[in-house]
Amino acid sequence: MNVPTEAYVALSGVLFAIGAAGVLVRRSAIMVFLNVELMLNAANLAIVAYARHWAGFDALAGLSGQTVVFIVLAVAAAEVAVGLAILVAIFRDRASSDVDGLAEVRL
């Protein structure tokens, strides 16, 4: 009945790997960004699973872990706002977001 933490962590690893493959494989910058979101959520799943695991040992660890995930969500919202603004600015100049051609974004 009770699913072990290992199963959740393994699922999180699989999702993270799929997202990493997407980052490497997709051509459009906005699709790369979408895959980064997938990787972020895979990491969140691992944190929530570990939070439940450690809640069995420590009274405060579980809720602290879940609160960290809450903060990660807020950071992800800020990241998406800035990232999509950068993509819109790139699209204005180039009408394309092919990451192979974005050499001028370099510092």
Partner 1 sequence: MATFVVLAVVMIAGALGVVLLRQPVHAALSLVGTLLALAVTYVTLEAHFLAAVQVIVYAGAIMVLFLFVLMLLNVQDTGPRRSLPGVRWAAYATAVVTAAAVAAVAFWDGRPAPDPAVASLNLQGGSAGGIGDALFGELLLAFHLVGVLLLTGVVGAVALVQRRAESAHGAPKGSGLPAGRDATDPKAPALGSGGSR
Exposure pattern of 28-59 as b/e (b: 16+ CB <10 Å)?
ebeebbebbeebbbbebbbebbbbbbebeeee
103 binds partner 1 (CB under 8 A): no
| Nearest distance in Å: CB 94, partner 1 | 10
| Nearest distance in Å: CB 102, partner 1 | 13
Which residues inside 74-93 make contact with partner 1, applying CB under 8 A? 74-82, 84-89, 91-92
* DSSP-derived 3-state class of residue 57: coil
36 binds partner 1 (CB under 8 A): no
102 binds partner 1 (CB under 8 A): no
CA-CA distance, 54 to 36, in Å (whole number)?
27
Which residues inside 12-31 make contact with partner 1, applying CB under 8 A? 12-22, 24-28, 30-31
Among 57, 104, 106, 107, binds partner 1 (CB under 8 A): 57
Angle ∠(70,72,76) on CA atoms, nearest 5: 120
